[in-house]
């Protein structure tokens, strides 16, 4: 019965792929990354109904103003940034030690 057990995770992934297009985008993603205020409000209404979502929207607008001058970096740019080298070294050392010590 191991094949049924292994196929269960694939079945769950397939169900997620089928239903994912019917869910709205994340309101913070729509507002902060894409700059789509109308889409953000629409997603908030769809997620939370017609309740009071204005305080959350105001908080997201404040966050957008704070992060306005910040550049969004992709993975390659982050890896080229010298200020993250100590953190990367620490993570690599930890991951390599876990691989080599035999713990699962």
Tokens matching residue 14: 């397939």
More confident residue, 53 or 16: 16
Cα–Cα distances in Å, from 2 out to 5, 8, 11, 49? 5, 10, 14, 43
**Contacts with 42 (C-beta within 8 Å, 6 or more apart), sequence order:** 24
pLDDT digit string, tens, across residues 79-94: 899 999 999 999 999 9
Domain spans, the chain: 72-103
pLDDT digit string, tens, across residues 21-53: 888 888 998 988 888 889 988 888 888 888 788
Residue 104's pLDDT is what?
A: 63
Residue 82's pLDDT is what?
A: 93
**Residue 2 exposure: Cα atoms within 13 Å on the Cβ side:** 0
84: which DSSP letter?
G
R_g over Cα of the chain: 21
- Confidence band (pLDDT; 50, 70, 90) for 76? very high
Dist. CA 66–CA 60, nearest whole Å? 10
pLDDT at position 12 over 70:
yes
Could you give the angle at the alpha carbon of 70 between the alpha carbons of 66 and 72, nearest 5°? Answer: 130
């Amino acid at each position: 019965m191991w094949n049924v057990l292994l196929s269960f995770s694939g079945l769950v992934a397939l169900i997620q792929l089928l239903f994912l297009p019917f869910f709205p985008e994340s309101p913070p993603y729509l507002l902060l990354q894409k700059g789509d205020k109308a889409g953000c409000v629409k997603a908030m209404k769809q997620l939370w109904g017609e309740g009071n979502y204005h305080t959350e929207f105001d908080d997201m607008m404040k966050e957008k103003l704070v992060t306005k001058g910040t550049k969004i970096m992709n993975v390659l740019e982050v890896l080229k940034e010298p200020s993250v080298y100590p953190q990367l070294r620490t993570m690599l050392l930890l991951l390599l030690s876990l691989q080599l010590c035999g713990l699962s």
